[in-house]
């Protein structure tokens, strides 16, 4: 059974590149973010096209209960923790040896048609950064 408080985040979201602001790298030319339930896990699937027309995709699963759990998607991290901070904010921390290496904050607009994601972390040189991406709801997922 899933948490109905998260239903506003569920669906397909389309990146709005001209509203994005990146401190590291360039915003993608296009992107799609899909969030859905599978049993009691959130499935987050991202696909994007970079400025050099290279296609990328990744998918990860997380349980949004605030408990740190094993993360097997990347060797750069060993633990993932996701929690609903308030009705409009979903946070995910990805950690290696109990140190946060990547943090994503998804903020849902009041009308649930826009989601702003701030992804923060550190460069290989140890400098902190924050990349801001804006997504518009393409369509909600039915039956959620």
**Beta-bridge partners for 101:** none
pTM of the model: 0.90
Dihedral angle of Cα 74, 79, 85, 88, to the nearest 10 degrees: 20
- Domains of the chain, first to last: 4-138 (2.40.128.20)
Provide φ and ψ at 18, rounded to 5°.
Answer: -70, -10
For 76-100, the pLDDT digits (tens) are: 899 999 999 999 999 999 999 999 9
- List of residues 6+ apart from 42 with CB closer than 8 A: 6, 35, 36, 61, 62, 63, 64, 82
Mean pLDDT in consecutive groups of 10 residues from the start of the chain, 144 residues? 81 97 95 95 96 96 95 87 96 94 96 96 92 92 52
- 106 closest CA partner among 93, 117, 94: 117
């Amino acid at each position: 059974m899933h948490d109905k408080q998260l239903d506003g985040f569920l669906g397909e979201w389309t990146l709005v590149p001209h509203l994005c602001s990146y401190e590291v790298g360039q915003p993608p030319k296009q992107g799609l973010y899909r969030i859905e339930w599978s049993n009691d896990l959130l499935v987050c699937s991202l696909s994007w096209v970079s400025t050099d027309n290279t296609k990328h995709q990744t998918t990860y699963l997380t349980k949004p209960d605030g408990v740190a759990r094993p993360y097997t998607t990347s060797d750069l991290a060993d633990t993932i923790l996701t929690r609903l901070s308030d009705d409009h904010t979903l946070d995910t921390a990805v950690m290696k040896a109990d140190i946060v290496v990547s943090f994503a904050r998804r903020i849902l607009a009041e009308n649930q048609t826009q989601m702003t994601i701030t992804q923060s972390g550190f460069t290989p040189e140890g400098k902190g950064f924050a990349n801001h991406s804006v997504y518009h709801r393409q369509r909600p997922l039915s039956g959620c």
